[in-house]
Amino acid sequence: MKANIKELTKGIFKENPTFIIMLGMCPTLAVTTQLVNAIGMGAGVLFVLLFSNIFISLLKNVIPNSVRIPCYVVVIASFVTIVQMVFHAYLPSIYEALGVYLPLIVVNCIILGRAEAFANKNTVIDSALDAIGMGIGFTLALSLISIIRESFGAGTITFFAIGSWDGIIKVPFFNKWPIRVMTLAAGALLLMGYLKAFFNWNSERKARKAEEVKA
């Protein structure tokens, strides 16, 4: 049981898909201009990852080894089409905002990477937990990036509209004098560089501490 929990939590911090293994960068930077888009993208990826991992894990003894990649791609593409249809029907504003990046979940390296590296070797339950952990890790990373970009670049944090509340939190100071470049492409790349450097520094520091404890 404890080992199962580990499969779930490793994706959130220790093997975070965005900051540690650096997979699926394209949607990460493109859709993080608003928090609500980041959450939508994260939910889409989580859904596709969960179901493709379950299916691939179930089919691992049926799929011949030599054609496994095309088979995985078909499974993934089917679930992406489902996500596209659901978003189109129920969340049209997020569907518009995500645009071409929604069908591009198919080629998101996280999903194919987890199928190849994990789901075709492990049991259904472990694969499902792995998918949920990775999906949550991806969503959290996207949310972090989008909160920073949106609050600096536009001075707002856009959440889902609930009842009479329009879902927009105004950030003081930046609301009046936003740093526009943060919501543009250049700001995304710069921020990603600094965040990655921070996580490198953090893991180095942890490794050094562990060594000191050992010594």
Binding site for other proteins (CB under 8 A): 22-23, 25-27, 29-30, 69-70, 73-74, 77-78, 80-81, 84-85, 99-100, 103-104, 106-109, 112, 181, 184-194, 196-198, 200-201, 204
84 and 52 Cβ atoms separated by less than 8 Å: no
**Which is nearer to other proteins, 108 or 151 (by Cβ)?**
108
CB of 38 to other proteins, least distance (A): 14
CB of 172 to other proteins, least distance (A): 26
**Which is nearer to other proteins, 25 or 168 (by Cβ)?**
25
Angle between helices 124-153 and 35-58 (to 10 degrees): 170
DSSP β-bridge partners for residue 157: 169
How is residue 157 annotated by DSSP? Answer: E
> Which residue blocks in the chain are alpha helix, DSSP H?
2-10, 25-30, 35-58, 68-90, 92-98, 109-114, 124-153, 185-214
What are the structure tokens assigned to 72, written together? 């995985």
CB of 215 to other proteins, least distance (A): 21
Distance between first and last Cα of the chain? 32
27 and 83 Cβ atoms separated by less than 8 Å: no
**Which is nearer to other proteins, 165 or 201 (by Cβ)?**
201
